[in-house]
């Protein structure tokens, strides 16, 4: 019999190696993260550096990259690890994703050999924590309007500006910062011990509480010419990194959905009302059936996109379709699971409300639902709705 969360037997589509990697990530997540996540979310405090070190020791950071201490696993295996981390909490998957698919990927894809050698081995080990500075207080969906600016001064660059909603930002050792220059948008590898850098953790969040979210400011920061990422010009660089991270979200959201589905099934089969388990009632079974089918189809979509990526055929609009669909599906599953748990659904004893709150952020970050709709619309019509 299939596991309750795998009605469609998606597991059958995976290779032995992918299942082994998935199981390793699941053991790590269950053993090292699950016992503490409720407390981290309750207090809004995350020992991000310690967790990064543990993730690095487990071979998870930058696991889909080649060389420099990275494991070099395939896209689907990377996605499966994303599932296991997000099944614990979206904030923990975000730490993993920002480190590997935004910061490390940017250096790996666009950096000089010296930049790669300097940063990637330590980031893969979790010795260095990375962040990705693109979003600004006034510019989210339109990164082309960013105000952060880097100006040439002799052989150096002088960086001024601010970034907002930056995961890992205030605990990072290095931030990949995107800024306007006289030659367009360029990326810079910025050590956070550079004079003029400051990072402030954003408090009082109602979502992603088990995550370090920060505002960064750069005041007359002097960077050497070697800080420039030589291989990225214009928005192609940051958007390429975002596409990598969105691919992980496509998978990861199904982990949050799975956790909610498993919780709802367990609750429905053990909670008794009117002298029988509530899972015996037709309305409850209807909800469980719809949740299971939605989760299964989202997981099938994820694996399909993984196979396309492995074949070099994956298009940005397809990633947008996956992110749009699977985030919506996961959020709806979390909300429906909450109704099955009744009043207990809002209790921190269960993960459902925490997942629902987190998914409200996932729905917005790395491309809002509306931006992904317009990306898909442009693919379908050949007409851009973007200004």
Reference 91, options 119, 57, 51; nearest CA is 51
- The set of catalytic residues is 366
Token output for 299: 């997981």
At residue 54's C-alpha, the angle toward residues 53 and 59, to 5°, is: 95
Give the tokens for residue 126: 């979790």
DSSP string, 200-266: EE--S-SS--SS-EEEEEEEEEEE-GGGEEEEEETTHHHHHHHHHHHHHHHHHHHHHHHHHHHHHHH
3-state secondary structure of 181: strand
Q: Decide if 94 contacts 74 (C-beta within 8 A).
A: no
Alpha-carbon separation of residue 167 from 91, 113, 170 (angstroms):
9, 26, 8
10 Å CB burial of residue 267 (0-12, 13-18, 19+) is buried
Closest to 5 (Cα-Cα) out of 283, 226, 253, 288: 288
> How many C-beta neighbours within 10 Å does residue 301 have?
19
Task: In whole angstroms, give the CA distance from residue 64 to residue 44.
Answer: 30
DSSP 3-state of 149: strand
């Amino acid at each position: 019999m299939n596991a309750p969360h795998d009605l469609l037997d998606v597991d059958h589509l995976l290779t032995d190696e992918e299942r082994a990697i998935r199981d390793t990530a699941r053991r790590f997540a269950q053993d090292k993260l699950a016992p503490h996540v409720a407390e981290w979310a309750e207090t809004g405090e995350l020992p991000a550096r310690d967790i990064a070190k543990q993730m690095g020791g487990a071979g998870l950071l930058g696991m889909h990259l080649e060389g420099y201490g990275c494991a070099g696993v395939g896209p689907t295996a990377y996605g499966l690890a994303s599932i296991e981390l997000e099944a614990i909490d979206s904030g923990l998957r975000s730490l993993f994703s920002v480190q590997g698919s935004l910061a490390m990927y940017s250096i790996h894809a666009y950096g000089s050999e010296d930049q790669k050698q300097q940063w990637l081995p330590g980031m893969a080990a979790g010795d260095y924590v990375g962040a990705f500075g693109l979003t600004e207080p006034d510019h989210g969906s339109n990164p082309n309007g960013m105000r952060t600016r880097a100006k040439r001064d002799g052989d150096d660059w002088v960086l001024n500006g601010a970034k907002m909603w930056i995961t890992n930002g205030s605990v990072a050792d290095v931030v990949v910062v995107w800024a306007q220059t006289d030659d367009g948008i360029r990326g810079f590898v910025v050590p956070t011990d550079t004079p003029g850098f400051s990072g402030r953790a954003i408090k009082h969040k109602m979502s992603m509480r088990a995550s370090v979210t920060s505002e960064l400011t750069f005041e007359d920061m002097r960077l050497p010419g070697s800080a420039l990422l030589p291989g990225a010009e214009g928005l192609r660089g940051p958007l390429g990194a975002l596409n990598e991270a969105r691919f992980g979200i496509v998978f990861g959201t199904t982990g949050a959905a799975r956790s909610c589905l498993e919780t709802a099934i367990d609750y429905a089969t053990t909670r008794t009302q009117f002298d029988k388990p509530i899972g015996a009632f037709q309305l409850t079974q209807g909800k469980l059936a719809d949740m299971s089918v939605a989760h299964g189809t989202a997981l099938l979509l994820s694996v399909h996109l993984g196979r396309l990526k492995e074949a070099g055929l994956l298009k940005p609009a397809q990633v947008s379709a996956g992110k749009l669909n699977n985030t919506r599906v996961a959020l709806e599953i979390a909300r429906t699971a909450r109704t099955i748990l009744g009043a207990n659904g809002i209790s921190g004893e269960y993960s459902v409300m925490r997942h629902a709150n987190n998914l409200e952020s996932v729905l917005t970050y790395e491309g809002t639902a509306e931006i992904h709709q317009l990306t898909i619309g442009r693919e379908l019509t050949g007409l851009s709705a973007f200004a």
